[in-house]
């Protein structure tokens, strides 16, 4: 059985980047993060009704500059699609970037899987200037861009569809 | 730049912004209608633009409405028409829009609802359940197979495990079978995939199930709509957890079943998704439709405002221009017209005002000419000694000159518009004048000439009148104009002249034989008195005495005529009238008489420049006239003489009033009081007052006679005190005098 919205007041849901770190492995910066994803009632109802949810991780690499504004040097989007398949009664998580697909018996398992980023290569250190400092930041959000415009317009005004974590920053160790 | 221009600029800017937004929105709508990707990308922008357009149009409408209300309340010209046009245009635009909106709403609601059907939903549910049942059976079969494989491998050692596993996999039809140790390490694997294929380690979900001593089974959707059944069971010695093994197998679902299962799954999901999106879709469509409606509605109403303003503007100009023309401003020109019917109307109005302006200028010119002529006429009339009265048929005065008032002894010059009959009630001369005129007018005579005699307290006045019709005009009804002259003085002068001639002839013809008659009578008496008897002597003596007395009487009479007829030879000197009056009065007071003579003179009486002899004679004649009037009266006679300073129109005169309590003048003779040989007394020559009048006129003075209310008569003489006053008096009387001279 699919997960259902809880009784009582509406749950607006939230995305929270609980931990984030990166490490330089063989000249490549790899990301580890733990993100808690709690869907709102409306998003959950949509998911159970066959609507595919897209969850994006937005990673920005920013070059720190001393006297002027910092420069956004690179931007990376990791997108996953989450859907419920009524026949198999399983939640499917598709990694848009890698085309990997996983299925889960519970929404919790699916979201837990989604929220766990392990050793994700984000950028090659060789493209960085050696004497510069770079910082990175991560944000997770529920995207509605894939929906028809009419729905986008409708979701635009709904708080329960505006799920987005704060930016969490860290310095890229080199 | 004034406030009005700034407001206009603001309105134009807002209007341009609104129109720009509307055009942009339409353009985007047009583009997005052809390209759904553009539509998706720009939809929010389009909505925002349309919303902004609605806000701008709404602001414009509120501003226009407020302005219209303000104009309506302050009764600005054209505001009612504009309000009516806006109302009609807005109604014509709004009603169809609302109808379309209502049916569109119905269409959207019902159209979307028709996508969903309870039977379809139930069919899909059943199909899904059936598919699940079919797959469940297959899954259970595969789980049994996996369990059997696990039992077969229970006693297999590690070296044989790979070979055994491969054999079992081929027998079971699994695509992949892997054996994992307790710590998820791969102990053996067999699959259809390439040799370097790494088998998927058991997920947490699998491990959790296994740890609960339950076999794991799942139907995993794969890419391209395929399915696989994944099973996992644990085997080995459960008393030694480190010796436990997990076998995980993957069985492909046949392509046919996968395709059908996928079809059921996709259809069910799609249906559920549509069901879920039904309300949001409705709301979205309704929102879009509402925005379009609002945009169209506001644009239509605003268009109604703009249209009505444009249509009413020239009409407003026309109304304002008409009011200006009604107020007499013919220089009003309306703005350059368009080429439609209203433009033709405006052009015609401009032509009309131009023509009116020309006509007004012409009329002003004509009026100025008429005014000039009128002024000239007034000047001429004012200078005329002839009286002119123009009046309408109802006797309302249209025009009267100063001379008319002087002649009729009533002020008429400034009484235009008043009725002669009303004025005449207190003025007998005017009353008689009107009676005489009405006699002709009532008889239907519009052109007449007559000499009429008016009788007043101070005597009669003879007028020669000529009347003619006067055409009416815009302000007046037809009337008459009467031109008249006072010929009283002329007639008097003629009479005086005749009497002077008589006097001269009498003096010449009668006086000469009187002396021989007297001498002859005395000679007869002397010659025959000696030869006659006493009786005859008495007769002769009485006869000759009578002849001599009568001749003397005739001489006195002839002398009196000579005095009346003598040529004027005034000897002007300055003397004190007070003293002279006392001397004269004292002469009569010394005579034995019962008549009381009272002299009242002003103590501040100035000296007078006059002929002292003539003034003395005036006083003598006046006093004698009164004494003669009082003789034989059976009551005590009284004569009062008052001499005082007075003024006639700023001209200094000395007024001499002699009044008595005698029988007065006979009314019938009032007009002839100053004529020679007119007397009501038993004695008297009838020349006394005639001579007084002659003397007064020689001094440029005036004389009036009237009867007192209680018995008695009064003579009032006004003599100018000096030469200046005399000249002024002569100017006052010039008209009549000059005329007299001219006519004489």
If we measure between CA atoms, which residue out of B460, B440, B461 comes closest to residue B450?
Answer: B440
Chain B CB within 8 Å of residue A45 CB: yes
B149 and B287 fall within a common domain: no
Residue A7 lies in a domain: no
The set of residues, in sequence order, having a beta carbon less than 8 Å from that of B218 and lying 6+ positions away, is A88, A90, A103, A105, B205, B229, B230, B231
Instruction: Test A151 with B280 for CB contact under 8 angstroms.
Output: yes
Average pLDDT of chain B to the nearest whole number: 82
- Is the CB of residue A140 less than 8 Å from the CB of residue A17? yes
- Check whether B568 has a pLDDT greater than 60: no
- Is the CB of residue B656 less than 8 Å from the CB of residue B641? yes
Give tens-digit pLDDT for A85-126: 999 899 999 999 888 888 898 999 999 999 999 999 999 999
**Domain that includes residue A126, residue range:** 14-81+118-171
Q: Which residues of B touch A110 (CB under 8 A)?
A: none
DSSP B419: B
Nearest residue of A to residue B38, measured between CA atoms: A149
Length of chain A: 174
B590 and B705 fall within a common domain: yes
Q: What CA–CA distance (Å, rounded) separates B435 from B398?
A: 18
B520 and B460 fall within a common domain: no
B368 or B631, higher pLDDT: B368
Rounded mean pLDDT, B157-163: 79
Instruction: Test B265 with A85 for CB contact under 8 angstroms.
Output: yes
Report the domain count for chain B: 5
Residue A149 lies in a domain: yes
Q: What CA–CA distance (Å, rounded) separates B299 from B17?
A: 12
Residue A137 lies in a domain: yes
Q: From the candidates A47, A51, A87, A156, which should be mutated to test the interface with B, based on the most B CB atoms within 10 A? A: A87
- Check whether B740 has a pLDDT greater than 50: no
Report the domain count for chain A: 1
- Check whether B566 has a pLDDT greater than 70: no
Dihedral sign of CA atoms B210, B214, B215, B216 in order = negative
**Concatenated DSSP letters for B537-548?**
HHHHHHHHHHHH
B544 and B664 fall within a common domain: no
CA distance A129 to chain B (A): 37
Separate counts of helices (H) and strands (E) for chain A: 3, 9
Quote the distance between the C-alpha of residue A77 and its chain's center. 8
- Is the CB of residue B691 less than 8 Å from the CB of residue B617? yes
Give tens-digit pLDDT for B273-310: 888 888 877 877 787 788 878 888 888 888 888 888 88
Q: What CA–CA distance (Å, rounded) separates B169 from B189?
A: 10
**Domain that includes residue B228, residue range:** 136-253
Q: Which residues of B touch A151 (CB under 8 A)?
A: 277, 280-281, 284
Which tokens in the block code for residue B652?
A: 């200094």
**Exposure string (b/e) for B87-108, b if CB count within 10 Å is 16 or more?**
eebbeebbeebeeebeebbeeb
pTM, rounded to two decimals: 0.52
Instruction: Test B131 with A87 for CB contact under 8 angstroms.
Output: yes
**Concatenated DSSP letters for B307-360?**
HHHHHHHHHHHHHHHHHHHHTT-TT--PPPP-SSHHHHHHHHHHHHHHHHHHHH
| The pLDDT value given to residue A137 | 95
| The pLDDT value given to residue B26 | 61
Give tens-digit pLDDT for B49-101: 778 888 888 888 898 899 889 988 988 877 888 888 888 888 888 888 889 88
Instruction: Test A154 with B287 for CB contact under 8 angstroms.
Output: yes
Nearest residue of A to residue B264, measured between CA atoms: A87
Does the ipTM surpass 0.85? no
Quote the distance between the C-alpha of residue A83 and its chain's center. 15
Dihedral sign of CA atoms B237, B241, B242, B245 in order = positive
Q: Cα B681–B683–B688 angle (5° rounding)? A: 75
CA distance B244 to chain A (A): 24
B717 and B622 fall within a common domain: yes
Length of chain B: 744
Give tens-digit pLDDT for B589-631: 877 678 889 999 887 888 999 988 889 888 988 998 888 888 7
| The pLDDT value given to residue B742 | 41
B649 and B709 fall within a common domain: yes
Give tens-digit pLDDT for A25-58: 999 999 999 999 999 998 999 999 888 999 999 9
3-state secondary structure of B473: coil
Give tens-digit pLDDT for B91-146: 888 888 889 889 988 888 888 888 777 788 888 899 999 989 989 999 999 999 99
Residue B549 lies in a domain: yes
Using the 3D structure, point to which of B253, B285, B304 is the last residue of a domain. Answer: B253
DSSP B241: G
């Amino acid at each position: 059985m699919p997960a259902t919205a809880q009784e009582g007041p509406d749950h607006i849901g939230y995305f929270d980047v609980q931990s984030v770190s990166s490490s330089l492995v063989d000249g490549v910066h790899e990301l580890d993060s733990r993100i808690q994803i709690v869907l709102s009632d409306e998003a959950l109802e949509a998911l159970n009704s066959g609507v595919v949810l897209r969850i994006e991780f937005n990673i920005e690499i920013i070059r720190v500059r001393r006297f002027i504004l910092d420069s956004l040097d690179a931007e990376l989007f990791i997108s996953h699609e989450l859907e419920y398949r009524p026949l198999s009664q399983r939640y499917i998580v598709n990694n848009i970037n890698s085309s990997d697909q996983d299925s889960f018996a519970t929404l919790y398992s699916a979201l837990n899987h989604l929220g766990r980023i392990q050793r994700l290569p984000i950028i090659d250190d060789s493209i960085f200037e050696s004497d510069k400092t770079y910082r990175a930041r991560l944000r997770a959000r529920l995207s509605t861009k894939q929906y028809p415009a009419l729905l986008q317009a409708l979701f635009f005004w709904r708080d329960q569809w505006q799920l987005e974590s704060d930016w969490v920053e860290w310095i890229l160790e080199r | 730049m004034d406030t009005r221009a700034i407001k206009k600029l603001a309105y134009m800017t807002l209007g341009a912004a609104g129109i720009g937004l509307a055009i942009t929105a339409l353009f985007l709508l047009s583009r997005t209608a052809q390209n759904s990707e553009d539509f998706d990308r720009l939809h929010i922008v389009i909505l925002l633009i349309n919303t902004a357009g609605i806000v701008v149009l709404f602001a414009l409408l509120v501003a226009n409405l407020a302005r219209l209300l303000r104009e309506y309340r302050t009764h600005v010209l054209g505001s009612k028409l504009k309000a009516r046009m806006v109302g009609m245009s807005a109604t014509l635009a709004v009603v169809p829009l609302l109808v379309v909106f209502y049916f569109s709403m119905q269409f959207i609601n019902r159209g979307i609802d028709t996508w969903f059907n309870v039977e379809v939903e139930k069919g899909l549910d059943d199909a899904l359940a059936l598919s699940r049942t079919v797959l469940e059976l297959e899954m259970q079969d595969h789980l049994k197979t996996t369990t059997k494989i696990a039992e077969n491998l229970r006693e297999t050692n590690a070296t044989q495990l790979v070979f055994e596993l491969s054999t079992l996999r081929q027998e079971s039809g699994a695509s992949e079978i892997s054996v994992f140790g307790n710590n998820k390490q791969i102990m053996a694997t067999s699959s259809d995939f390439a040799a370097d294929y790494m088998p998927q380690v058991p997920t947490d979900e699998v491990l959790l199930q296994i740890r609960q001593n339950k076999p794991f089974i799942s139907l995993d959707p794969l890419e391209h709509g395929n399915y696989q059944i994944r099973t996992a069971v644990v085997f080995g010695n459960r008393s030694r957890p480190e010796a436990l093994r997990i076998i995980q197998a993957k069985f492909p679902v046949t392509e046919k079943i996968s395709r059908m299962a996928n079809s059921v799954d996709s259809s069910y999901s799609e249906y559920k998704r549509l069901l879920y999106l039904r309300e949001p879709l409705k709301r979205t469509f309704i929102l879009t439709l509402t925005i379009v409606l609002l945009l169209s509605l506001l644009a239509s109403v605003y268009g109604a405002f703009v249209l009505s303003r444009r249509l009413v503007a020239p009409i407003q100009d026309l109304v304002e221009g008409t009011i200006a023309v009604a107020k007499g401003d013919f220089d009003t020109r309306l703005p350059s017209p368009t080429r439609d019917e209203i433009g033709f109307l405006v052009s015609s109005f401009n032509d009309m005002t131009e023509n009116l302006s020309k006509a007004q200028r012409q009329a002003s010119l004509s009026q100025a000419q008429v005014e000039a002529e009128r002024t000239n006429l007034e000047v001429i009339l004012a200078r005329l000694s002839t009286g002119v009265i123009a009046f309408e048929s109802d006797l309302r005065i249209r025009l009267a000159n100063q001379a008319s008032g002087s002649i009729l002894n009533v002020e008429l010059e400034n009484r235009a518009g008043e009725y002669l009959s009303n004025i005449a009630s207190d003025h007998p001369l005017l009353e008689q004048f009107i009676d005489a005129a009405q006699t002709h007018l009532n008889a239907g005579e519009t052109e007449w000439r007559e000499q009429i005699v008016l009788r007043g307290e101070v005597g009669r006045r003879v007028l020669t009148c000529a009347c003619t019709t006067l055409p009416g005009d815009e302000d007046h009804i037809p009337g008459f104009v009467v031109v008249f002259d006072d010929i009283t003085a002329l007639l008097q002068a003629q009479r005086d002249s005749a009497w002077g001639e008589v006097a001269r002839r009498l003096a010449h013809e009668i006086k000469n034989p009187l002396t021989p008659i007297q001498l002859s009578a005395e000679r007869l008496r002397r010659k025959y008195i000696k030869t006659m008897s006493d009786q005859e002597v008495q007769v002769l003596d009485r006869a000759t005495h009578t002849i001599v007395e009568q001749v003397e009487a005739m001489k006195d009479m002839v002398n009196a005529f000579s005095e009346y007829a003598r040529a004027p030879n005034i000897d002007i000197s300055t003397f004190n009238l007070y003293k002279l009056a006392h001397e004269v009065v004292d002469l009569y007071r010394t005579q034995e008489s019962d008549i009381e003579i009272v002299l009242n003179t002003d103590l501040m009486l100035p000296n007078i420049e006059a002929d002292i002899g003539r003034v003395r004679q005036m006083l003598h004649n006046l006093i004698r006239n009164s004494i003669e009037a009082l003789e034989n009266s059976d009551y005590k006679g009284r004569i009062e003489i008052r001499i005082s300073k007075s003024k006639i129109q700023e001209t200094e005169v000395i007024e001499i009033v002699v009044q008595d309590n005698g029988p007065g003048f006979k009314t019938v003779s009032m007009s002839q009081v100053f004529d020679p040989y007119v007397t009501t007394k038993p004695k008297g020559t009838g020349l006394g007052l005639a001579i007084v009048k002659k003397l007064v006129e020689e001094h440029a003075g005036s004389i009036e006679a009237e009867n007192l209310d209680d018995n008695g008569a009064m003579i009032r003489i006004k003599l100018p005190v000096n030469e200046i006053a005399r000249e002024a008096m002569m100017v006052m009387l010039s008209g009549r005098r000059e005329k007299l001279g001219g006519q004489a």
